[in-house]
Structures are given as C-alpha cells and as structure tokens.
Amino acid sequence: MSHDHTHDHGPGTGGHAGHSHGVSADADRRWLSIALTLITAFMAAEVVVGILAKSLALISDAAHMLTDAASIVLALIAMRLAARPPRGPYTYGLKRTEIFSAQANGLTLVLLGAWLGYEGVRRLIHPPEVEGGLVLVTALVGIVVNIAAAWCISKANRTSLNVEGAFQHILNDLYAFIGTAIAGAIVLTTGFARADAIATLVVVALMFKAGIGLIRASGRIFLEAAPAGIDPNAVGDAMASADDVVEVHDLHIWQITSGQPALSAHVLVAPGGDCHAVRRTLQHQLREDYRITHATLQVDHLGEDETAPDSLLQITTPQHTPDEAGQDEDTHGPTHRPGPHAH
C-alpha cells in the first residue's frame, strides 16, 4: 500500500516553470545571434591580416574565433532542441542537448589549445618575422569586438552550461587579443619576435583551463552526479531528521540539465504518522534549503510489505543491515536514519 509517488515543482509553477532563470529563450537567442554576427565579420578580416603580418598569434586568434562562432551556432541549435516539449521516449525532452553542446565547446578548446601549443613552441624555437604594427592594430580592434560579443552573451542566461560554454570561448578570445596586442607592441618597439609565440602559449594555458572546466562540469551531468554544492549525505540526513521519518533510502540526486536538479527517494514513516504531511514537509524543505523543485518521493509506513498490497500494516523495525559504509544490501546507496550514523 504505497501512499505517495509525487512530483513537486513548487507552488504555482505550472510544471517546470519553476526552472526559469529570468531570461527568456528568445532573448538568449537574440543576444547570441548578435555576438555571432560580430565575431564572424571580424574573423574574416583577421585571417587576411594574420597571413599578411605572418603572425601566429593573429592566426591563432582567428582560429579561436572560428571555434567561437561554431560554439555559438551549436548553442543556438541546442537551445532550440532543448525547448521542444517532452514526447515519446524522451520524457525529459531534449534538454541534455545543451550539455552535449557544452561538452563539445570544452573539447574544442582543449584540442585547439593543443595544436596552438605545438605551433607556439615551434615558433618559439624558430621565430619568423612578424609585422608588429599590423598585429597591434588588429589586436586592439579585436579587443573591442570581443568585449562587445562577451557583453552580448553575458546578457543571456549564463546559469545554462550551454551558454556558459559559448561565453568561455569569447572570454578566452578576449584574453588572446590582449596578449596579442602586448606581443605586437613588444615586436614593434623591440623587434623581439618570440613575444608572438609567448603570447600564444599564455592563451593556450587559459584555453586548457576553461576547456577542462567545461568538460568536467558537463561530465558530472552525464554521469548523473549530484549538482556541485549539494551533498547527498547532508540532504539525506536532513530528510531523515524530519518529524515521523524513520528512514530514507534509495536517495538519488542528479541534474536533468544545468540548473535543473532532480531528486528521488524512498521514505519510511513511523506507524500512525501522516504520510501526506511528511511528503509535503520534505518537498518544502528540499525546495527552500536546496532549490530542488523536481522531487519524486515514495512514502510508506514502516513495516509495509510492498509486494503484498492487501496485507495489514506490520509494526516492525527496519530490517536493513548496513555495511561499514552505511550502505544496505537491498537499497541503492546509503540509508539515512535520525541520529548519528555512518555513510
């Protein structure tokens, strides 16, 4: 006799409206499209100047801008797919296409960084002649263009890992242009051609940092790890400390997509306790303390035999036998009970 298999999305949210971040999808697409136009126009000019100036830093910036443009296009496609309503076997819709996009952005940053790192080292050993004046002027214009593009994307919803991936591309490109401008000024004033390669290697380090961060964050979602900042053991202990709760097990916390945490758990209530009241209390606690609005709780009285729905309520004690880590053989993950216990 199971009492509750309930989803809660928060009062008055109307399904998943509670996941809104205050920026509409249409506004996100508009800002991303403006940034894409700025980057594409400047990229074409930079390729020509980079070839004329024989500057790896400029060519690397142009290559990076190409990945910037690709990342924004990918983000726009992912946003449109993610906006489609759930249907058929895709019960969550296609929301995780945004995470695919974020992971692709991270991978392109790392791969491009590896290639530019190789070229940077090669040119550090054998530096070519570099036209410092052309490099400096182009880089200064690039700084302005990238500041404008970064500002456009910052107006979109950056809580989305998809948008954040595109933003990281633009931000790293801004760093690249600053480094290139410094290198151009050094080449122009001192003739030290290796400054171009050194600037490239500095940007490569920043690209690796941003790329690995995106891959790690998207990987956590694909592996259905708990969202960063949420400790499942702490959540389970807090749920178990609620009135009339005897045990919480089969607790799972994951993210459907960035900014949309979800939770499911089996909750055992003391005989005579109000299952419905317990469920409402726990859902309120999860919403207020952890911002988890998508919660599925199966709430039963302690001792109920779920395999025999017509059987009478049995007043017993928990029969689970936790191991040294606090994990029961017949549950998925640790069991949480009131009072101190191992995890």
Per DSSP, the residues of 173-235 read: HHHHHHHHHHHHHHHHHH--THHHHHHHHHHHHHHHHHHHHHHHHHHHHHTTPPPTT--HHHH
- pLDDT, tens digit, 9 for 90 and up, residues 14-42: 333 334 444 456 677 888 888 888 888 88
Classify burial at 213, counting beta carbons within 10 Å of its beta carbon; exposed 0-12, middle 13-18, buried 19 or more: middle
Of 179-183, 227-231, 305-309, least confident by mean pLDDT is 305-309
Top-confidence residue, 325 or 299: 299
Mark 249-267 as b/e (b = at least 16 C-beta within 10 Å): bebebbbbbbbbbbbbbbb
Q: Phi, psi at residue 293, to the nearest 5°?
A: -100, -10
pLDDT of residue 244: 92
CA 135 remoteness from chain centre: 35
Q: What percent of the chain has pLDDT over 70?
A: 79
Per 3-state DSSP, the chain is made up of helix, strand and coil in percentages (nearest 5) of: 55, 10, 30
* DSSP-derived 3-state class of residue 10: coil
Greatest C-alpha distance within the chain: 90
E-state strands within the chain: 4-8, 245-255, 261-269, 294-301
pLDDT band with cut points at 50, 70 and 90 for residue 332: low
Measured in Å, how far apart are the chain's first and last C-alpha atoms? 29
Task: Categorize the per-residue pLDDT at 331 as very low, low, confident or very high, splitting at 50, 70 and 90.
Answer: low
What pLDDT score does 256 carry?
A: 87
Residue 40: other Cβ atoms inside 10 A: 15
- pLDDT band for position 48 (cuts 50, 70, 90): confident
What is the distance between the alpha carbons of residues 71 and 92, in angstroms, rounded to a whole number? Answer: 24
Residue 136 has pLDDT above 70, yes or no: yes
Mean pLDDT for the chain overall? 79
How would residue 241 be classed by pLDDT, with cut points 50, 70 and 90? very high
User: CB-hemisphere CA count at 13 Å for 31?
Assistant: 21
d(CA 80, CA 73): 11
How do residues 169-208 score in pLDDT, each as one tens digit?
788 878 888 888 888 888 888 888 888 888 888 888 888 9
Three-state DSSP class for 291? coil
pTM value is 0.70
| pLDDT exceeds cutoff 60 at 56 | yes
User: Order of strands, edge to edge, in the sheet holding 4-8?
Assistant: 4-8, 294-301, 261-269, 245-255
Mean pLDDT of 244-262: 90
| DSSP type of residue 12 | T
